[in-house]
């Protein structure tokens, strides 16, 4: 009986520790920006799902492409129909790790510089990316902010010659996610 009680107690403790290492959001924000001399393009998605495992450093993002919102409806239509083909490729994902995990103390409130490295899948193409940013630990919650740049050609996103001067060949992507412990 003592053995069963000890096993139950240890299993409960290990499950508690494991569950406290998982943090999640369903309302993260990813935005992108393209600047040219003709026109700026800015879009934001506030429906990003992400899980961060503080024990392993693994980070996963899932983004519904049609959830990006633009200032102009026509830009949103062109983005979905002509460039990222969101009916054909409805989701974009990132799977990676915090590469400097040892430098972060998840038990202590503070701001920590982070680097993430992993694979971004967009428009059906998977490419390695590295992003730098900041992880804030505050009262058991996490806020991850970062940025990186992607080249449209790397993801086989073609820009028609008619509008090539209106769209930059590279896009700046910004991430801002507030995580709560996963329950």
Kindly report, residue by residue over 1-35, the tens digit of the pLDDT: 444 433 333 334 333 334 469 999 999 999 999 88
For 155, residues 6+ apart whose C-beta sits below 8 A from its C-beta are: 122, 123, 125, 127
Average pLDDT over residues 100-117: 97
Domain map (residue ranges) of the chain: 22-181
Average pLDDT over residues 111-128: 98
Better-scored residue on pLDDT, 147 or 37: 147
- The mean pLDDT value of the chain amounts to 88
For 6, residues 6+ apart whose C-beta sits below 8 A from its C-beta are: none
For 1, residues 6+ apart whose C-beta sits below 8 A from its C-beta are: none
| H/E element, 16 | helix 2-20
| pTM reported for the whole predicted model | 0.84
Kindly report, residue by residue over 155-183, the tens digit of the pLDDT: 999 887 777 777 888 999 999 999 999 98
Q: For domain 22-181, give the CATH superfamily.
A: Lipid/polyisoprenoid-binding, YceI-like (2.40.128.110)
């Amino acid at each position: 009986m003592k053995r069963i009680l000890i096993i139950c107690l240890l299993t409960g403790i290990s499950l508690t520790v494991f569950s406290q290492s998982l943090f999640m959001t369903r309302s993260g924000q990813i935005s992108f920006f393209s600047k040219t001399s003709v026109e700026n393009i800015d879009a934001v998605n506030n429906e990003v799902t992400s899980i961060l495992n503080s024990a392993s450093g693994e980070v996963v993002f899932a983004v519904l492409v049609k959830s990006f919102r633009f200032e102009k409806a026509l830009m949103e239509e062109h983005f979905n129909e002509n460039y990222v083909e969101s009916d054909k490729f409805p989701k974009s994902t990132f799977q990676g790790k915090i590469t400097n995990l040892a430098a972060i103390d998840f038990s202590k409130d503070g701001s920590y510089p982070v680097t993430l490295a992993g694979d971004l899948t967009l428009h059906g193409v998977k490419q390695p990316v590295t992003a730098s940013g900041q992880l804030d630990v505050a009262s058991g919650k996490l806020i991850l902010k970062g940025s990186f740049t992607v080249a449209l050609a790397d993801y086989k996103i073609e820009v028609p010659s008619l509008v090539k001067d209106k769209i930059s060949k590279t896009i700046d992507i910004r991430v801002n996610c507030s995580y709560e412990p996963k329950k």
